[in-house]
Amino acid sequence: MENKPKQTGKTLLITGANGFLGKNLIARLRAEGTHTLLPFDLDTPPERLAEYAARADFVFHLAGVNRPKDPAEFYAGNRGFTEHLLALLQAAGSKAPVLVTSSVQAELANDYGKSKREAEALVFEHEQKTGAPALVYRLPGVFGKWCRPSYNSVVATFCHNIANGLPIEVRDPAYRLPLVYVDDVVDQFLAAMEGRAPRDCSLPGFCHLMCDTYETTLGDLAKTIQSFSESRASLAVPDMGDAFTKKLYAAYLSYLPANGFSYPLAMHSDTRGSFTEFLRTPERGQVSVNIAKPGIVKGNHWHNTKNEKFLVVRGEGLIRFRRVGADEVLEYRVSGERLTVVDIPTGYVHSIENVGTDDLVTVMWANEPFDPQRPDTIYEKV
C-alpha cells in the first residue's frame, strides 16, 4: 500500500480574531487541526503583529471598525491598521496572500465607506509592489452564530431580542437587504486560502462569493424570526426545505438565553397514560409520544386517508390489525429492545396494547397534523 505524504498545514495570521467572522473562521480551522493559527485582536500584545506578519503563509485580515464614537476612528481602524499591517508584511519580505473583508458599504460616501475604500486601495497597492495576492471581498450583511446584537447586524439584533422576549424596531418593513450565512462565507475563505478565490466579478480585481446570497425585507425578516419563537407553542417546524429559513433558524437558536433551551409540552394524561404532541408541519405531518400503562389498550379505530408509523422505544407492545369488513386479525409484537417501525395503513382497524410490566412508550408519526374539524378517525374494535 502506497504511503501518502502527510499534509503540511499553513501558518495563518488572523486579525480581528475575536470578532464575528474571526470566531467562526478560527473555530473551523481549529476543528480541522491542520494549520498553525496566529490570532490577533485588541487584547493581543501589539508587538506580536510584526512577529506574526513575518511567520504567516496567509493573512486573513478581518479586523475593522464599524461603530466608533468618533468618525476619525473609522480611518484609524480601517485604513490606518491596514496600512500598518501591510508595512510589517513588506518589512518582512512576505509574499503571503492577504484576504481582506470589506463591505458593500464601501460604495457609499460616508466615513465608514470611505475608510473601507481606502483600505482596499492599500491592499491592491501592496499586491502591485510585492506580488502578494490581494483577495478583497465586499461582503453584504453576514448572519449566523456569535454575531454581536445591537451592533451592526439587524439579524443578530432581531434574533437576540426575540429569543430573549425583548421588543424589536422595524423602521421600514419594505427595506430590502442582501444577506449571506457565516458558514458559507467561511467556506469561501478557506477555498481562497487554497488558491480558489474567484476574481472575475463585476468589480475588477475584487473577489466574489460563490455562495447563495439571500435578499429579504426587514418586515419579512422580523416575521420569520418571530415565527421561530412562536413555534414552541404551535409545535410548528420551520420550512427546512428553504435554505434561508434553515440557516436563519440555526442562527436564531444560538441566541437563546442559557435558561431557555428547554420548553414544556402539553401532556394529555389520564389513568391509561398520556398522549403528547411534539412536532407539527403542514407538509410532513405530526410527531407525538404515546405512553400506555401496563395492560392498557389504545386505538381501536381506523382512518380513510390518514396513515401513521409507530415506533416503540420502551416496553413491550402488541399491535393488532383487522381490515375493515374482514375477520382476520394480524398481530405484531414490538419492543424497545429492538426498534422496529410499524406502518399503520388506511382502512385497517388497529390498536396497541401494553403487554409488559413497565410503561409502553411509542413514538407516533402521522402524515398530517390532527384537525379536529376533520379528524378522519372512525372508532371500531379490532
**Catalytic pick from 112, 137, 252, 255?**
112
Cα–chain-centroid distance for residue 78?
29
Determine contact, residues 164/124, Cβ cutoff 8 Å: no
The count of other CB atoms within 10 Å of the CB of residue 45 is: 8
What is the residue whose three cell numbers read 417546524? 237
Which among 114, 22, 19 is positioned nearest to 74, based on CA atoms?
Answer: 114
**CA distance to 38, 39, 61, 149, 318, per residue, from 16 (Å):** 11, 8, 7, 17, 61
**Rounded distance, CA 181 to CA 197, Å?**
18
263 is catalytic: no
| 296 touches 354 (CB < 8 A) | yes
Burial of 127-141, coded b for 16+ CB within 10 Å and e otherwise, reads beebebbbbbbbbbb
Which residues are marked as active site? Answer: 112
